[in-house]
Structure 1
Amino acid sequence: MDITTQKIEEIEAEIKEVKEDLAHIKSLYEIPFDLWSTKDKKQFGTEDGQINRDYLREEKILLMNKESELRKEKILLMDEKRKEEREYSGKKESLSLEAKLQVPSTELHYDGINLLKPHIERRSLLERLCGIFTTSFVLLSSPAGSGKTSLLALFAAKMDIECIYMYCLKKTLSDMLKPHGIDLKNKTVTGDKPRVIMLDSAQKTYGEKEDWTILIKNLSHLMPQTKFIMAASHSLEGGYDTPLEFGSFPTLSRSDFLLSDEEARQLLTSNNELGLPKHFQFDSLVSLISSE
Structure 2
Amino acid sequence: MARLCSLSEAIAENVKDGDTIAMEGFTHLIPYAAGHEVIRQGRKGLYLVRMTPDIIYDQLIGAGCARGMKFSWGGNPGVGSLHRFRDAVENQWPRPLEIEEHSHAAMANAYEAGAANLPFAMLRGYIGADLPKVNPNIRSVTCPFTGEVLAAVPAIRPDVSIIHAQRADRKGNVLIEGITGVQKEAVLAAKRSIVTVEEIVDELNPPSPNSTVLPSWAVTSVVHVPGGAFPSYAHGYYPRSNAFYIAWDKIARERETFQAWIEENVMKASPEDFAKHAEKQPVKAA
Which structure carries more relative contact order (alpha carbon 8 Å, separation 6+)?
2
Please confirm whether the aligned pair reaches a TM-score higher than 0.5, indicating the same fold: no
Larger Rg: 1
Between structures 1 and 2, the one with greater helix share: 1
Q: TM-score, normalised by structure 2?
A: 0.25
Between structures 1 and 2, the one with greater strand share: 2
Q: TM-score, normalised by structure 1?
A: 0.25
